[in-house]
Amino acid sequence: MVPMLSFDAVYMLLEYGAMYAGSGLGKKATAFPAMCDKLSDQSEAENRVVVDGKLITSRGPGTSLEFSLAIVEKFLGHEKALEIAKAMLVV
């Protein structure tokens, strides 16, 4: 799994070519608003957190709770993520 928050996502995806059309990776992602124009697939650019297989990306620090819960869900399942979200008063 590769969790990436904000600019980290853009940098790493650029480094590994995932942001360019035809790169073969074909991963959906989101990024910090100023960097979203670098995404080759902008269909998820406005979403706060995007999970595509083992790749989890987020728009920035303001999405850190949602981002963290997405990681918990990936490792421990939806029920555990929901339990934690309720305990934190997120939902």
How many residues comprise the chain?
91
- pTM (2 d.p.): 0.76
Per-residue pLDDT of the chain (91 residues; tens, 9 = 90+): 666 665 566 666 655 555 543 344 677 888 888 888 878 788 998 999 999 888 888 888 899 999 999 999 999 999 999 999 999 999 8
Q: For residue 29, what are its two tokens?
A: 């992602």
DSSP state of 25: -
Which residues pair with residue 2 across a beta bridge? Answer: 55
Domains of the chain: 2-87 (3.40.50.880)
Nearest to 29 by CA among 13, 1, 80: 13
